[in-house]
Amino acid sequence: MQRLIDAFFNSVRAFRKLAVSEKAFQQELMLLALALPLGWFVSISWRGYALLIGAVLLLIMVEVLNTGIEAACDAFSREFNVDIQLAKDCGSLAVLISVIIVAGVWGIAIIERIAGLPI
């Protein structure tokens, strides 16, 4: 049980650090804050709402992992290294793919809502 408690406090520490210092994380938290109420109006089912919010949470999760990759790379070396550049670029690509997923899920949900189709 102590491991779970320690993991929880480690997660809270990371959340606070990212919420204070990482602009992308702050923007995605704002997106989540907007998505929580907006999802009620866009979705017509609990399942659809869960999908809309889950897509935004996926984006936040990928951003957290990307930030971790960048921090690990920077801790290893701040000098240019082609392998470190690739690791950082791959993390950035993962975030971009997540943004595309969020845009697609929300776009389809909005179109279905306007057209009166079920989600």
| Closest to 109 (Cα-Cα) out of 28, 54, 31 | 54
End-to-end CA distance of the chain: 40
How far is Cα 73 from Cα 114, in angstroms, rounded to an integer? 45
| Closest to 41 (Cα-Cα) out of 109, 87, 90, 117 | 109
Which residues does the annotation place in the binding site?
3, 22, 24-28, 63, 70, 88-89, 92
Which residues does the annotation place in the binding site for substrate?
3, 24-28, 63, 92
Which residues does the annotation place in the binding site for ATP?
3, 22, 70, 88-89
Active site residue ranges: 63
How far is Cα 67 from Cα 91, in angstroms, rounded to an integer? 8
